[in-house]
Amino acid sequence: MKPLIQVLGATGVGKSRVACALAKTFNAEIISADSVQVYQGFDIGTDKIDAQGRREIPHHLIDIIADGSQFNASKFLELSFAAAEQIRARGRVPLVCGGTALYFRVMAQGIFAETKDDGTRRQLKERAAASGWESLWLELQAVDPAYAQKIGPNDKVRLVRALEIHRHCGLPPSEAFTQSRSPFSEYRFIRVGLEMDRKKLYERIDRRAERMLAGGLLQEVEELLKRYPASCPPFKALGYKEITAHLRGEYDLPTALALMQRHSRQFAKRQLSWFRQEKDIHWFAPENIEAMTRWVGQCL
């Protein structure tokens, strides 16, 4: 099996620092598992590693989208696998680092490769606009009650995708998902999780938001809005959505900061809940680089 190191954990816990330390020790290159760092110019609000850091250790899947177009788990799976294979061909170890929990899951489980049809998606959205999202959820409940209960009527993205799958292949979505395949099937994941006291983590998150604002996040968003329409996906990300709303005049800057902090703490809580469902993660304190290095070395 081909080894691949994963460094994961909640936002603000210190994943990048740990990933760089492990990469230096184990001759690795880093693949970013962050759904917003793929966008050019979205730097401060994503805490993106600087150019010097990327010169010292090669990083992949950062700054790969210049037009603000949609990036998703399917594209991540395709590009991360290609990057991992190229890294191995150079005799190095791929190391995936980030906080987008779904990306780690699709690496292990794959994605159901259904045929997508813009016409079907458009019809579903038109029906939702005319009859309400509840009507789509009731349709899903009729064909796949278990999956309907799992996602609920307000999860519009997954609701549309689930009905697309059913209409295209005739299978309940939960059954279709069991047919997923991952290109990483020949890889063995060495999973390093970072954890710290919840109160300390929340304090770090709050201080980081303050540093981002002091470091020019407001000015960054102003410049980005000149390059991209406000409807671009990255403007919905933490930090960017609050500052964008401030620039629209919805609330003052102190309120925007407080919302950034609160939403980031809530996001961290959801990340930890998701990762806790994974039973093959070995957890370490972020500062315990020695223990992580020893364990990863044993696994390799």
pLDDT in tens, 15-66: 999 999 999 999 999 999 999 999 999 999 999 999 899 999 999 999 999 9
Nearest one of 177, 178, 145 to 161, comparing CA atoms: 177
Find out whether 177 and 124 touch, Cβ atoms under 8 Å: no
For residue 101 the two structure tokens come to 């929990």
With cut-offs at 50, 70 and 90, classify the pLDDT of residue 113. Answer: low
232-245: per-residue pLDDT in tens?
Answer: 999 999 999 999 99
- CATH fold group of domain 2-110+181-299: Rossmann fold (3.40.50)
Burial category of 17 from C-beta neighbours within 10 Å (exposed 0-12, middle 13-18, buried 19 and up)? middle
**Which of the following CATH numbers is that of domain 118-177: 3.30.465.10, 1.10.150.120, 3.40.50.300, 1.10.20.140?**
1.10.20.140
Q: How far is CA 274 from CA 104, 189, 231, 233, 281, in A?
A: 11, 17, 28, 22, 12
pLDDT at 178 over 80: no
pLDDT (0 to 100) of residue 115:
60
Nearest one of 254, 285, 274 to 103, comparing CA atoms: 274
Domain ranges of the chain: 2-110+181-299, 118-177
Task: Return all residues near 144 (Cβ < 8 A) that are at least 6 apart.
Answer: 162, 166, 172, 173, 174, 175
pLDDT at 287 over 90: yes
pLDDT at 114 over 60: no
pLDDT (0 to 100) of residue 156:
85
Range name among 104-108, 122-126, 281-285 with the lowest pLDDT average: 122-126
Burial category of 293 from C-beta neighbours within 10 Å (exposed 0-12, middle 13-18, buried 19 and up)? middle
Range name among 31-45, 67-81, 100-114, 165-179 with the lowest pLDDT average: 165-179
DSSP H helices, the chain, are: 15-26, 51-56, 73-89, 101-109, 118-131, 133-143, 145-151, 156-169, 173-177, 198-214, 217-227, 240-247, 253-276, 289-299
Largest CA distance in the chain: 59
136-171: per-residue pLDDT in tens?
Answer: 899 888 988 988 888 878 888 888 888 888 887 778
Rounded Cα distance between 245 and 233, Å, is 14
Rounded Cα distance between 162 and 164, Å, is 5
Q: How far is CA 96 from the centre of its chain?
A: 12
With cut-offs at 50, 70 and 90, classify the pLDDT of residue 179. Answer: low
pLDDT (0 to 100) of residue 296:
98
